[in-house]
Structure 1
Amino acid sequence: MAVAALSTIVEWYDFTLYLYLSTVLSRVFFGGGESSLIATLGGFAVAYLMRPLGALFFGHLGDRGGRRRMMLLSVAVMTAAMLAMALMPTHAQIGSAAGVAIILLRCVMGFAVGGEYTGVVAYLLEGAPRGRRGLVTSLAAAAAEVGALLAVAVSALTVNLLDAQSLDAWGWRIPFFVGAALAGTVWIARARMQESPEFERQRREGSIPASPLRHALRFHRAGIARGFAISALGSITYYVGITYVPAFLTSVGTFSEGVSLGLSTWAAVAVILVTPLFGLVSDHAGRRAVLVALALCSALLPITLFAMMARGSADTALAGALLLACVAGGVSAVGAVATAEQFPGEGRLSGLAFGATTATALFGGLTPFLAQVLVERTGWALAPGAMIAVVGVAVLPVLLRLPETAPRRTRWERRR
């Protein structure tokens, strides 16, 4: 379980690094200019459309052949893609072909990550003590944010230590080489992982479904729909409320690239600290109550918090980023266990792939791109906050009717 959670750090370092360096990569691969950042964020969005396909592919492998085998393959694909990214020729060397090539590589990464997160969430849930599933499964969300923190920290360090000419010429490659090396190390560590006890049970009982996706669609359509709603809220709060923030602060002219990445680093630290707390609270108060409270926060707070970041001082912007990050971290923490608990062990990965990962593709990968388009076309800097608020309001009715999946704990368990 420790290897599964910690290795997610590297996987998400690799995947989110692109977004944190988006303003640099827009110059390196798309030649700069007014539309270059839109093109770069568009590449991020297109890669996210590959996540459901990757989740379905790896989910089938995980439901049929085991969680361990699936996670080994996903990190191997990610290692190769990161190394290729670090060696990629730039726009100055091969022209517009550089932009096409980087988008294709992003698609490969999206395909790999599509299976990664759902596999780790299922693996942690299935190995956790019954009354601590929220806490243990939230480690997947925390580990993902540690990876994002590492990505933003390495990005900030690289940007601040190099002058603009060196950064665009060769410095941008350093974070990607770091990611390739880390991913290769994770593959070695994962080779020693044990199989999930839940999958071992299915193997003993002969209950492994021949067609996991068909099994999920036949018996758990309601769970797929609920997983979609929960993941939609978690995705837009995370990708607009955390990872898009550096590009937002830079594009509206509030702060420089270095300062924006620094603020995002502190926001990532806040998420890491609150994520296990929200997971633990959901073990005691229940998944539904915590998710409803977070949906209300998502509906009421983001417009104000984006105003603080767009119009305030550095301290005010930091406060807005921290509060927004805490809401996003809470939704990710409880959403991880709540979506996985919508399904039994049989076909769990395929059900998550069809519901939760599809929502992530639409409300995660597309939303930073859409947020930037809205800010540029309308001139309304608060549009990203409005996007989060709309989704928060839309999913609230689903969450109010969500069946409680947190196990009821006995009085003896509470005392212990």
Structure 2
Amino acid sequence: MSEKSSKKVLTSAALGQFVEWYDFVVYAYSATVIAKLFFPNEDPSVGVLSTLAVYGAGFVMRPLGGFILGSLGDRFGRRAILSIIILSMGLATSLMGLLPTYASIGIWAPILLVILRLVQGLSAAGESAGSNSFVAEHAPKGKRGLHVAFTYAFANLPPVAAALLILLLTSVLGESTYLAWGWRIPFLLGAPLAFVGLYIRTHVDESPAFEKAKSENGISATPVREAMQTQRKPMLFCFAIAAFSSLAFYTMSGYFVTYLTTSVGLSRTDSLIANSIAMFVSFFIMIWSGHLSDLYGRKTMLCVGLVASAVAAVPAYLLASHATLITAIAGQLLLAIAMGLYSGPVGAALLELFPTRTRLSASAISYNLAYTIFGGSAPFLGAGLVLKSGSLLAPAVYMAVIAIAVLIVIMFMPETYKRSITDASPLDGNARIDRDS
């Protein structure tokens, strides 16, 4: 594969990831406003919890989306399904920006909001597995971890962009104008961004690994069934890896701003600034960690990231709870560094567990089931733990416990970083050494 083609694939995947996840996380950064407009309640905490519950509803569709989109990607190719994904996400996000509020149509406002979140969830189900697989199957020898980490890391930038955009709009328009109509602008940007991503994705070649499998009649007619029957153990490892990945990412991108404003009492401006800095730092740590996983192995870096996360969780929340901009930045940086170390090898590790014929189906099903349970519940559970326990450190303890549990599972996982991306053999410790990708 030429260097020019490689850069084209990386650019298309990275920009596609950015557009897809901008659309998905902008809801979380508008949680306090949506609570007022769609879930009016005398108790602001109840309104926020209702909003975060709808945020979680977007994850309900992800296991179903994993079945549908993973199967289609394995049967008909990665590129076509990635184009459908980004278009449906963009349209759902833009329609959110056009929704009437509770004051206008009553109960239909939150109902329509839930429906659109379900569409977003269905779309998001195929993005990470599909995009990462597309990059991994194009990547040159010895750089798979770096290439996948680079594009996967772009999921960290949409929260930064969304936070800074909302901060700019609230500063320019003022709180009252932003509450009246300015909140719609970040959502309405979903459609044009999606069309840009769609254009880019339709101008790259299909995955060489998929084309090779197709030419050798290696395409499965029933990839979901085959994965469920023959790859249960790798799917369990995939689930475990994604469990902490989802918890860490959506705690940072979907919950921490709400935590700082609602529970800690920090201003919204300072909360958005602190979170943006942390997510931006995590972007670079992820890429570096992905590179290290090409040198020392996926399993090694996953374990390093889990230990770092377990150790950093309580001190990070303790720092952030002091309600100043400096301590909020310091606390989140601890989490961001640990999260980056862990997330760097995640994308490649998930895909190397499976052969080409079932790669999207097996990884998307396991990945999205974990994201539904641990990612979708992260903001709601975090807010609920603080509310019920009265302790600002309750979410940190939960994160540390999950990190330790996942670490125990990962210790039993075989190393995969030298496995050929076109290897069709079962993952039994005897997989071929990577010579062709």
TM-score (norm 2): 0.91
Are 1:230 and 2:241 counterparts?
yes
Are 1:251 and 2:272 counterparts?
no
| Per-residue deviation, 1:140 | 2.8
Q: Is the 8 A contact 2:252 2:275 kept in 1?
A: no
Q: Distance in 2 between matches of 1:359 and 1:244?
A: 18
- Give a deviation string over 1:2-23, Cα, whole Å, max 9, x none: 2122111010000001011111
Report the equivalent of 1:405.
416
Are 1:208 and 2:219 counterparts?
yes
Q: Distance in 2 between matches of 1:197 and 1:57?
A: 22
Q: Is the 8 A contact 2:305 2:340 kept in 1?
A: no
For structure 2, the residue ranges without an aligned partner over 5 or more in a row are 1-8, 421-433
- Give a deviation string over 1:314-369, Cα, whole Å, max 9, x none: 21221111120121222222111111111011110000122111101111011210
For structure 1, the residue ranges without an aligned partner over 5 or more in a row are none
Q: Is the 8 A contact 2:271 2:328 kept in 1?
A: no
Q: Distance in 2 between matches of 1:139 and 1:275?
A: 7
Report the equivalent of 1:160.
171
Q: Distance in 1 between matches of 2:170 and 2:238?
A: 38
Q: Distance in 2 between matches of 1:376 and 1:115?
A: 34
Q: Is the 8 A contact 1:90 1:98 kept in 2?
A: yes
Aligned equivalent of 1:38, options 37, 49, 72: 49
Aligned equivalent of 2:99, options 88, 91, 114: 88
Q: Distance in 2 between matches of 1:31 and 1:51?
A: 28
Are 1:348 and 2:359 counterparts?
yes
Letter in 1 for 2:21: W
Report the equivalent of 2:187.
176
- Larger CA deviation: 210-219 vs 308-317: 308-317
Report the equivalent of 1:319.
330
Q: Distance in 2 between matches of 1:389 and 1:241?
A: 14
Q: Is the 8 A contact 1:9 1:148 kept in 2?
A: no
Q: Distance in 2 between matches of 1:33 and 1:308?
A: 31
Report the equivalent of 1:6.
15
Q: Is the 8 A contact 2:264 2:322 kept in 1?
A: no
Letter in 1 for 2:153: A
Q: Distance in 1 between matches of 2:351 and 2:194?
A: 25
Q: Distance in 2 between matches of 1:381 and 1:162?
A: 32
Aligned equivalent of 1:303, options 297, 308, 314: 314
Are 1:28 and 2:37 counterparts?
yes
Report the equivalent of 1:332.
343
Q: Distance in 2 between matches of 1:95 and 1:256?
A: 30
Report the equivalent of 1:110.
121
Q: Distance in 2 between matches of 1:356 and 1:252?
A: 30
Letter in 2 for 1:222: K
Give SS of 2:345's match. helix
- Larger CA deviation: 56-65 vs 160-169: 160-169
Report the equivalent of 2:134.
123
- Give a deviation string over 1:20-67, Cα, whole Å, max 9, x none: 111111112112542110000000111111111112111111000000
Give SS of 1:346's match. helix
| Per-residue deviation, 1:220 | 1.2
| Per-residue deviation, 1:212 | 0.5
- Relative to structure 1, is the Cα distance of residues 96 and 408 closer, same or farther in structure 2, using a 3 angstrom cutoff? closer
- Relative to structure 1, is the Cα distance of residues 242 and 87 closer, same or farther in structure 2, using a 3 angstrom cutoff? closer
Letter in 2 for 1:53: L
Q: Distance in 2 between matches of 1:330 and 1:52?
A: 26
Computed over aligned residues only, the root mean square deviation of the Cα atoms, in angstroms, reads 1.6
Q: Distance in 2 between matches of 1:253 and 1:92?
A: 30
Report the equivalent of 1:150.
161
Give SS of 2:266's match. coil
| Per-residue deviation, 1:392 | 0.7
Aligned equivalent of 1:290, options 296, 301, 315: 301
- Larger CA deviation: 222-231 vs 288-297: 288-297
Letter in 2 for 1:245: F
- Larger CA deviation: 224-233 vs 175-184: 175-184
Q: Distance in 2 between matches of 1:28 and 1:57?
A: 34
Identity %: 36
TM-score (norm 1): 0.95
Q: Distance in 1 between matches of 2:263 and 2:41?
A: 17
Q: Distance in 1 between matches of 2:371 and 2:179?
A: 31
Q: Which is richer in helix?
A: 1
| Per-residue deviation, 1:70 | 0.4
| Per-residue deviation, 1:408 | 8.1
Letter in 2 for 1:373: G
Report the equivalent of 1:276.
287
Report the equivalent of 2:427.
none
Letter in 2 for 1:27: K
Letter in 2 for 1:314: L
Give SS of 2:356's match. coil
Report the equivalent of 1:192.
203
Letter in 1 for 2:360: L
